[in-house]
């Protein structure tokens, strides 16, 4: 049945675009669900425009796949999802200023209680707000420290707060390193200790959660209520150990060739005369730039694209809206052709990992910086 929905094949019609392969999203959802116990629901992280993929289009698809809980970084991100008719629970992971508390109620968002002081501010609104309590078990970012159970109990006693859940966050990455594994275990122990103290005091919190993508693959044995998966869902998880190796990237990034130009030996290309042709060359101008998320650090041969299945290195500086590549050795490149920054072209591929590595960063940063100006197409 679901196939019908994917029949429509689309590609970018504009200057630069993202292609989203929803069959791959379905595949990744299936892998994550198969790893997690049946009682644990996915609560996908669709913050930062769903890691650049497009929050509305991804969340809508996830709704269709039966996902009914999401997390975002800010209240405004949650509002955007509601305006796009996304159903289910939406948890705001980050700080919301008291000036925006009204949005939480109006758009049925759940707010993270960052610490006891913040709980008092939420409570002071004098109207019921649904929240999840954040417990800091070692990340040392947001959350009431696991050691201060007394404060957590005080949060539970705030009369205007509807406590729908409680959660923590792992600080380790998927290294397999025994020290990291021990830290993760100590975070789980700290969280479980808080949960049992709360239960002893007679409180019953409906949902508890601690796993991100790393947590799902490193600790599939855990039996919490939600897994807050982001990067794994998008198939850009940087570990190929075990089942993580079966995840597939959802996103491709492509741009149009806007011009093909002959450059003579000795001429320069682009701003700052950063590139001087050592020979007669053929340059393709691509209609994408750093405003779209192509790192400026890709200038002068650091980054490359695929055109007609062949690699074309970037020449000169990446500009705000345009990028120039060397196509001297690629036959038949024409205005209107497609250049692939992330994804497959013929038998060749530039993976999100390759792209991030060339940029000296991680896939999460590259993806979340993909610009709002890019078209998002479902293929």
Ligand X SMILES: *Cc1c(COP(=O)(O)O)cnc(C)c1O
Choosing from 231, 263, 288, 306, the residue that interacts with ligand X (CB under 6 A) is 231
Least gap, CB of 22 to ligand X (angstroms):
19
Half-sphere exposure of 35 (CA within 13 A, CB side): 28
Per the document, the length of the chain is 379
Compute the distance between CA of residue 237 and CA of residue 214 in angstroms, rounded to an integer.
Answer: 8
If the CB atoms of residues 122 and 216 are measured against ligand X, the closer one turns out to be 216
Number of helices (H), then strands (E), belonging to the chain: the values are 12, 20
Q: Known catalytic residue: 271?
A: yes
Q: Does residue 169 interact with ligand X by CB under 6 A?
A: yes
Q: Are strands 207-211 and 226-227 parallel, antiparallel or unpaired?
A: parallel
- Binding segment toward ligand X, per CB under 6 A, in 54-62, 229-237, 326-334, 338-346: 229-237
Q: Which residue among 6, 47, 51, 237 is the active-site one?
A: 47
Question: What is the rounded CA–CA span in Å between residue 375 and residue 199?
Answer: 49
Residue nearest to ligand X (CB): 230
Candidate residues 93, 114, 156, 333; the one interacting with ligand X per rule CB under 6 A: 93
SS3 label, residue 377: strand
Q: Which of 52, 165, 190, 230 binds ligand X (CB under 6 A)?
A: 230
Return the sign of the alpha-carbon dihedral for residues 236, 237, 240, 243: negative
Question: Which region, judged by CB under 6 A, interacts with ligand X, from 25-33, 96-104, 195-203, 224-232?
Answer: 224-232
Size of the site for ligand X (CB under 6 A): 12
Piece in contact with ligand X (CB under 6 A), picked from 56-64, 182-190, 222-230, 310-318: 222-230
Decide: is 251 part of the binding site for ligand X (CB under 6 A). Answer: no
Two structure tokens written together for 106: 């109006």
Name the token pair of 83.
Answer: 């305006």
Within positions 6 to 65, which residues make up the interface with ligand X, using CB under 6 A? 45, 47
Query: Does 229 participate in binding ligand X (rule CB under 6 A)?
Result: yes
Tell me the C-alpha distance between 222 and 363, whole Å.
Answer: 26
Q: Which of 343, 329, 328, 341 is nearest to 298 (CA)?
A: 341
When the beta carbons of 227 and 314 are compared against ligand X, the nearer one is 227
Q: Which CB atom, from 93 or from 218, has the smaller least distance to ligand X?
A: 93
Which of 41, 49, 96, 212 touches ligand X (CB under 6 A)?
A: 212
Cβ-contact 120, 159 below 8 angstroms: no
Helices in the chain by DSSP H: which ranges? 2-6, 22-35, 47-51, 55-64, 75-83, 101-106, 116-124, 149-156, 178-200, 213-218, 352-358, 363-368
Active-site entry in 84, 87, 157, 271 = 271
Nearer to ligand X, 111 or 258 (CB): 111
- Which residues form the interface with ligand X (CB under 6 A)? 45, 47, 93, 169, 212-214, 228-232
Catalytic residues: 47, 271
């Amino acid at each position: 049945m679901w196939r019908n929905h994917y029949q429509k094949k689309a590609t970018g019609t504009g200057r630069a675009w993202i292609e989203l392969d929803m069959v791959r999203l379905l595949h990744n959802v299936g892998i994550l669900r198969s790893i997690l116990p049946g009682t644990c629901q996915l609560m996908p992280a669709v913050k930062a425009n769903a890691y650049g993929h497009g929050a509305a289009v991804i969340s809508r698809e996830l709704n269709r796949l039966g996902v009914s809980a999401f997390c975002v970084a800010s209240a405004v991100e949650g509002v955007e999802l509601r305006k796009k008719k996304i159903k289910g629970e939406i948890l705001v992971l980050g700080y919301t200023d008291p000036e925006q508390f009204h949005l939480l109620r109006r758009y049925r968002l759940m707010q993270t209680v960052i610490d006891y002081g913040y709980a008092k501010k939420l409570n002071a609104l004098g109207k019921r707000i649904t929240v999840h309590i954040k417990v800091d078990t070692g990340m040392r970012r947001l959350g009431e420290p696991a050691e201060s159970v007394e404060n957590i109990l005080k949060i539970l006693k705030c009369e205007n707060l509807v406590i729908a859940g409680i959660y923590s966050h792992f600080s380790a990455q998927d290294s397999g390193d025994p020290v990291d594994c021990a830290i993760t275990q100590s975070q789980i122990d700290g969280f479980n200790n808080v949960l049992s103290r709360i239960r002893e005091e007679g409180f019953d919190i409906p949902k508890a959660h601690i796993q991100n993508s790393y947590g799902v693959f490193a600790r599939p044995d855990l039996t919490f209520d939600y897994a807050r998966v982001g990067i794994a869902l998008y198939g850009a998880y940087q570990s190929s150990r075990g089942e993580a190796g079966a995840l597939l990237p959802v996103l491709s990034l492509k741009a149009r060739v806007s011009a093909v130009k002959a450059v003579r030996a000795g001429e320069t290309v682009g701003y700052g005369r950063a590139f001087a042709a050592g020979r007669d060359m053929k340059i393709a101008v691509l209609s994408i730039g750093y405003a779209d998320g192509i790192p400026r650090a890709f200038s002068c041969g650091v980054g490359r694209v695929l055109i007609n299945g062949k690699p074309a290195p970037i020449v000169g500086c990446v500009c705000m809206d345009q990028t120039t590549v060397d196509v001297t050795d690629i036959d038949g490149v024409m205005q209107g052709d497609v250049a692939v920054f992330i994804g497959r072209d013929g038998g060749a591929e530039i993976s999100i990992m390759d792209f991030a590595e060339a940029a000296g960063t991680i896939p999460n940063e590259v993806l979340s910086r993909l610009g709002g100006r890019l078209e998002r197409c479902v293929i």
